[in-house]
Amino acid sequence: MDSILTSIKKMLGIEEEYTHFDVDIMIHVNSALMVLNQLGIGPDGGFDIADETSLWSDYIGTDTNLQGIKTYIFLKVRLIFDPPSSAFLVEIFERHIKELEWRLMVQKESITEPVV
């Protein structure tokens, strides 16, 4: 499953055929993509999705070391779209988001630094 929208919907527990929340989910995904862009992750000109045709491979290419982006975007969307009722779970999600931000930045730096 390479579609960004479809995979985020699946992780949220929403069937692919159910499209009622697609616009809401895409808005939240695009917000997360904007944050990643500000952290230096993703294409230089930014990236956004408009439907189910936007693919993970379009965004992260084939770099398997950036797969954490999928979890990051899911957690960001989940916190806004369907936040856990437990403050403890919200805190866990937020900690995981912060860790992924740090790890993705470190990974991006290791890719872009020149080899001596």
Q: Give mean pLDDT in consecutive 10-residue pieces for the chain, a chain of 116 residues.
A: 93 96 98 95 92 94 86 97 96 97 88 57
What are the CA-CA distances from residue 60 to residues 51, 56, 108 (Å)? 17, 6, 11
Non-local (6+) Cβ contacts of 56 within 8 A are: 2, 3, 4, 7, 69, 70
Domain count, the chain: 1
Supply the range of the domain harboring residue 74: 4-112
Which helix (H) or strand (E) segment holds residue 29: the answer is helix 22-38
- What was the pLDDT predicted at 66? 83
- What was the pLDDT predicted at 109? 81
DSSP 66: G
- What was the pLDDT predicted at 61? 84
- What was the pLDDT predicted at 108? 81
- What was the pLDDT predicted at 53? 96
- What was the pLDDT predicted at 113? 58
